[in-house]
Chain A
Amino acid sequence: MVTIDLAELSVRDGNELIRKHGAAGEDVEVTNPDARHHIGVGLISPITVKIRGSAGYFCAGLTDQAHFKVDNNVGWGLGDNMYAGSVVVSGNAGAIAGVAIRGAELIVRGNVGSRAGQVMKAGTLCCAGNANFMAGYMMYGGRIIILGDSGERLGEDMTGGEIFVGGSIQDLGADAEVTDIAADEIESVREFLDRYKISFKGSFQKVVNAGKKLRYDTSEQQRRSIPFFSFSGDSSYWNPKIQEDIHIKSHIGRYRIRGYGGARSLPHLADLAFKRDLSGAGHDDDVVSQVEMHTEIGGKNGANPLKLSMPVMIAPMSYGALSRSTKEAIGIASSLSRIAENTGEGGMSDAQRDAADQLIFQCLGGRLGWNIHDMLRADGLEIYISQGAKPGLGGQLMAKKVTPELAAIRGIPAGIDLRSPSRHPDILGADDLVIKIEEFREATGYRLPVSVKLGAGRVRDDIKIAAKDGFDFIELDGMQGSTGAGSAEVIDYVGIPTLAAIIEAEEALAEIGRRQDVEIVLMGGMRDGADAVKGLCLGADAIAFGTSVLIAGGCIACMQCHVGQCVTGIATQDPEHEKRYQASVEAQNIHRFLESVRWQIAAITQGLGYADVRDLSREDLVAVTPEAAAITGLPYAPEYRENRVPQAVKVN
């Protein structure tokens, strides 16, 4: 037993020591914890840690196999995301004790705060005292044992798992019900209590999911999309799309769902033109080697940056929305082009990790697939706050895509219409984010850049908060971004266009003098090197491509991703459909697409008179629509529209 005195060490140094002793198999005693946050975070060794006093937030969070004993109280987020192992708390625990645990045993001898066991997947959370409101909120699996009384809305929107209550239940949450208990279940609970020497003589009530909200009751008739010009821009007011919407809604009685990005024309980077005549651009035989494009992202605060061979990365897209083979192809292509790939929601598979040289691991409110081991093998971490396609909403994965394998990675029951929570259990405000970032950094030894993904809305305000919270970089996603499934109206009408987003971001960061402290990766509707360079000119440090990469790999833009039986094998989990996708062939196509983008970035940059993409600036651009001019403040120069290439030109 080694003693670590936190009166003398910072938590960061303390945690490093704990991990070191853990690796050596030595138990640890932590003295003078003084309710500091993140004690023990990131420990993955089967040792015992005794905390002599009270611990703050996220005690024992992001750990596996370790056993913690806390002499006094703990703050919120006890055992956050803990795999195997245990925590025994002698006093009380704050809110969201046992949040997102995936197998651990947590025992709180006193009371627990609100939302105990939120989004937990497996394991047991036992509270010997009383539990505050909404225990078991959105839990997907595992077991909560409350020996005292439970507060209001017990089991609110739980999807799976069981809650055993020894005292009284104030009231049940949405879609929760009391059910019968089998004898072996009682026996198992008793065995658990005996093991931790908790005596309880009373009887239990068992609460489970009532199953009324797991699936949409009427299914929406699938319609192949009608041409966008019939409902966008200059189209008629009561256009065919409006009529189709009304007909379908008059049958299903709720909003429509679809995949893909915004359908209508919005102000776009395509409404900007380059000032210089680029008709001779790219005639240098080796333009790619003439232009410096290497870009490091995320190293501002000392983390190991992502090293990109050009200011481009892959936008976050989940295994789940996309098939395994599609993620594999994208990963391979990202490695071949030496850029970074992103897991999106729903966890990291070995195949993804193997395919991508640099991989960002995304963390969402449902903590689906989130875990310490994959964090440790990631190259960057990302906290999803929202996405451009449907900001304010969580991910949506229709039952057809929630296969047993996928459900296992995510730690949820198979075959439900998965509507991921849009809010993180432990991020209710900007200050919480600071602590969350710190937890991630603690868990990974401050090695990895931690980024935030923001769907563009009140960018001017949001980005200031993100900068002040200390993120290493910000992924700013305009409303032209796509999704595997979402409310069709939200996709089209919530958020602001990518063009406006980068303008607001730049202005806001300049206002508070923080532009140099943070990097911005711009995404949402980016299609080629021209879009990318325009984004860089407006200030972005890098550009992320999502939908374009899918198209390069065979997506036909039919916008039926939500149906789950993608004809090309991309947006599906149906094995019969997935096998249509030839990962090795499409990886080469995607790679060639990325290389075309590289060539275009180089050719345009050189054509504008620079040898380094960092020299690009808004001075290189003009606006060709009144909207784009008003949004960007660039000169309105419609005469640049004249530079159009005729529809049919002779090809050499």
Chain B
Amino acid sequence: MTVYDLQRIQLPILPTEFRDRDDSSDTHFVPAPCQVACPVGTDAPSYIGYIWEGKLEKAFEAITATNPFSSICGRVCDAPCEPACRRSDSDGPVQIRNLKRHVMDELGASYRLPQLSVTQTETVGIIGGGPAGLTAANDLCAAGYTVHVYEMTDRLGGMMVWGIPAFRLPPGIIQQDIDRLTNRCEGLHIHLNSALGEQVTLDELKSRHNAVLMTIGAWRGKPMGIPGEDHPRVVDGVGFLRRVNGGERPELPETVVVIGGGDVAMDACRVAKRLPGCKHVKVIYRRGPDEIPARRTELEGAIEEGIEFIYHTQQVAIESNVDSLVLRCVRTELGDADEDGRRRPVAVTDSEHDVECGMVIASVGQQTECNELSQHNMMAGDRINTTFEGMCTSDPKVFAAGDGAFGGSTIVMAMHHGQRAAYYVKAFLEGRENPLPYRTPYRTRRVPVAQDIMWEKHPVHHPEFFGLGEKPVDFPEIEATYNRETALAEAARCYRCDAETGSADYAVRHREDLFSMARTGPTDLPKLQTMLQRRLPVRDNPYPPGRPPNLDDIVFLPANLSRLVIDPYREACKVSTDLAGRIELAQPFLVTGFDQAPVEVRDGVGKGLAQSNCGYVGTIPLNDSSPWFQLLTSRETEPSADAAALLQTVGEKFQTPQLERQHDHQILGLAVSSSQLLEESLQYSLEQGLDMMLLDGTGQVGEAWPELHTAPDFGILRDAVAILRRLRREEEIALVYFGGIRSGTDAAKVIGLGTVAVALGVCVGLAVGGQVRDGNLLFSSDSNAEERAAAVVNILKANASEASMMARCTGKTNLHNLEPEDLRSVTISTASATGIPLVGTRN
């Protein structure tokens, strides 16, 4: 499937056993294009996120979770994820493979994965120790089975060992993966030098094991089907690579021609170029540079190493001279598309020409040969007769996978086959008929996105390219691994298509649906129909019952036509706040909650408040240069003459306070924390001519961070305003609210509800570096008093700017002119807690 297929948006049913490895039912996750493009479903976005966070071990776990050959893939995977990367359309794909290589180079040799122990009695025989077979072995061992792998050569790895030259994949890297796998799979038994039909027969395997899996690979090069190809200096690509990877370094003629444009051709030409005697390597390919199937980086690497590419040319015959070969060719042009959608090369008339060379390496495909299976009548042409749906052969006990079953492909595709096969073998062993179709599970590790401010600008980072190196015949590695700095920058480039967006209306599911709609043709009826059924269901209620009222659920009504717009960017809006004619605050804020804070923090906050001319509400003053609103929590507390205000807390029951002004400008007031006490408290305050009332929406003003413990009670504010309104004495006492004010916007809402100012607690605590831990704010020592003071000044200024922006949007030039009429609620619970009508309704 392509990454924009509906199947990505609406994945097929997941087999139950994969539930713990799949997150596609998470409403905040759609597997990213790269993950879907990866045949083994690698959670690339997560490991890229971890790399950026510096959590390489977590990245390693994410990489290896679905890929037992991660070190190998870090170097030579054909990386179908990269063309799928959405950034390809922009400035080039994220270099997912190189990032993997970075992690594996750091940890591939050392990091231990948990052991996989034997829990089942059944055993499985696997023929062939290549990527398909070993991946299946890995998965079956993970399921607790005992697995015997029979390998015809003297080492494990299959094509990864014999097909890929060391300059791309050093033997040590292969060994890392093999060792990791064999060490952790306790039920894995390896039988080397055990070829099917020679050291072991199919019937033996069937009698020894409960199931058999054939992953025998495709080891023989396909013939070109032209006259002269049986000449001894015409060799096949896989055979050639196998010799060299076995350690030989044959002397080659001066000019070598490689025929074909796939990965084997690329490896063969680059190997030839490095061998003694060879000076020129020419690659002949029958289509053009846009059609060549070789991976772009391999192609570019080959060109960089001086290999000549001859496109639109097809071989027709080989003749031999005395000491050279003559390859007869015709030029081609692209004709109509054939079944696989690629345009067929058509010979141009009278274009015959000769290419002289000393050797021809034919890399036009691979095939499988197995006498044993032929005798059992299990072959279909050059492949094992296998269904992709169940990985079944004609024998119910025998399964097949990999190149041997489906033709030459990539390592990662072979691994996918191995995983599929393991799934069906397991179902067979468990006696489950007709299991749900295999589906690649998609996990996400929900890693936060990289906070690199350059993420939009970082270009693709190409690792340093060494090419042939100083001594080509030693096959030194062709390119470097990212260093840490480069890896971070490349990781930061990731769009993180897996991550939930910051927008509810354009959440990741919506975004991906819209992407799919944009890639659905008007005649693609099934996709249109399915997409409609996907878009019709209603969303979950974002405001489930029981959700407490929230200031977030109040909005401001902007000025428009019925009320004159002011220019919020330019016209001033007054925020200064007069408290009962006794104190003029520059901003409508008081601060509270630092009584028990560390002295360094108190110092910084005190400085900031002094600079901002902002009052502090507490039982002890922060310093003597910012106005202190003394909180009298008991009748025994001595009122201070230094305090700008005396605030007597009203406990659980109203008792007549004894408040006496210590000087003329001192403000007197009560701090009330329950609606039940309002009637008496307000009556008393009005009778006594008290200046202000602190409405405590937390019940614990003065304590450390009560706002972290309880949802703020806005009812107390609503009720206080209602009482004053009933008495028609709203203007006679200044209401100040405390509880859950997080921003200037919150403050403006509460001011609109009827207060003149708000007290800030946790908001300022966070501004000066507090970290929320277990219902408390913890302060670290990484800022000094001046920095904390600046943070206080800034947060108060910012909150004031937000509050005034809100007032200006409603058309007000004085923050204190905000009124309930400027507000609406968006939820019923908030409407009832605040008395502010729901949007769209009349009351």
Contact = CB atoms under 8 A, between A and B. Distances in A.
Contacts of A252: 794, 798
B764 to A, nearest CB: 9
Interface string A621-643: 00011110011100000001101
B429 interface: no
A430 B563 CA distance: 10
B535 A529 contact: yes
Contact of A246 (B89, B515, B561, B795): B795
Contact of A283 (B12, B89, B529, B544): B529
Interface in A259-287: 260-268, 270-274, 278-279, 281-283, 285
Contacts of B537: 643-645
Contacts of A566: 456
Contact residues of A: prevailing secondary structure: loop
Interface stretch (A161-169, A303-311, A596-604): A596-604
A599 B534 CA distance: 14
A31 B562 CA distance: 38
Given A221-B453, A222-B453, A596 B569 contact: no
B222 interface: no
Interface residues of B, number: 123
A600 B518 contact: no
A453 to B, nearest CB: 10
Contacts of A649: 10, 13
Interface in B469-525: 495, 497, 499-508, 510-511, 513-515, 517-522, 525
Contact of B828 (A247, A265, A454, A627): A627
Residue with the highest number of chain B CB atoms closer than 10 Å, among A552, A560, A566: A552
B296 interface: no
Contact of B838 (A281, A422, A631): A631
Interface in B772-817: 772, 791-795, 797-799, 801-802, 805-806, 808-811
Given A253-B793, A490-B805, A493-B556, A631 B839 contact: yes
B515 A393 contact: no
B806 to A, nearest CB: 7
A624 B542 CA distance: 11
Contacts of A530: 532, 535-536
* Listed residue (B561, B568, B742) with the most chain A CB atoms within 10 angstroms of its CB: B561
Contacts of B508: 557
Contacts of A559: 501-503
B568 A233 contact: no
Interface stretch (B120-128, B209-217, B336-344, B547-555): B547-555
A387 B487 CA distance: 42
B577 interface: no
B517 A552 contact: yes
A615 interface: no
Interface string B740-768: 10111100000000000000001100111
Contacts of B499: 227
Most buried by A among B90, B564, B841: B90
Contacts of A273: 538
B247 interface: no
B526 A627 contact: no
A234 B522 CA distance: 39
Interface stretch (B369-377, B444-452, B724-732): B444-452
A369 to B, nearest CB: 19
B541 A493 contact: no
B244 to A, nearest CB: 42
B810 A392 contact: yes
Contacts of B547: 233-234
Interface string B802-843: 100110111100000000000010111000000000111100
Contact of B809 (A266, A494, A644): A494
Interface stretch (A48-56, A197-205, A497-505): A497-505
Contact of A262 (B86, B89, B500, B503): B503
B791 A250 contact: yes
From DSSP, what is the main secondary structure of chain B's interface residues? loop
B25 A647 contact: yes
Contacts of A228: 500-504, 507
Contact of B826 (A266, A278, A422, A547): A266
A306 to B, nearest CB: 22
Contacts of B808: 392
Contact of A504 (B86, B555, B560, B840): B840
Contact of B12 (A429, A603, A651): A651
Contacts of A487: 802, 805
Contacts of B541: 271, 624-625
Contacts of A101: none
B230 interface: no
Nearest to A233: B542
Given A282-B528, A458-B563, A489-B745, A253 B536 contact: no
B352 interface: no
Given A392-B810, A547-B506, A496 B495 contact: no
Given A577-B456, A630-B838, A243 B772 contact: yes
B24 interface: yes
B533 A645 contact: yes
A556 B514 contact: no
Nearest to A391: B558
Interface in A449-463: 454-455, 457-458, 461-462
A250 B795 contact: yes
A225 B506 CA distance: 13
Interface in A568-627: 568-569, 577, 580, 582, 585, 589-590, 592-593, 595-600, 603-604, 624-627
B596 interface: no
Contacts of A560: 456
A242 B765 CA distance: 13
A232 interface: yes
Contact of A627 (B456, B538, B826): B826
B17 to A, nearest CB: 15
Interface of A: 138, 156-157, 174, 221-229, 232-234, 237-238, 242-243, 245-247, 249-255, 260-268, 270-274, 278-279, 281-283, 285, 288, 385-386, 390-394, 419, 421-423, 428-430, 433, 454-455, 457-458, 461-462, 465-466, 479-480, 487, 489-490, 493-497, 499-501, 503-504, 525, 527-530, 547-548, 551-554, 556-560, 563, 565-569, 577, 580, 582, 585, 589-590, 592-593, 595-600, 603-604, 624-627, 630-632, 640-641, 643-645, 647-652
8 contacts: A223-B451, A224-B449, A433-B561, A493-B556, A494-B555, A567-B495, A593-B518, A599-B532
Closest 4 CB pairs of A and B: A225-B502, A500-B840, A392-B809, A265-B542
Given A392-B809, A495-B555, 13 more contacts: A228-B504, A233-B543, A233-B544, A243-B772, A421-B570, A527-B506, A528-B514, A626-B828, A645-B533, A645-B534, A647-B25, A651-B7, A651-B10
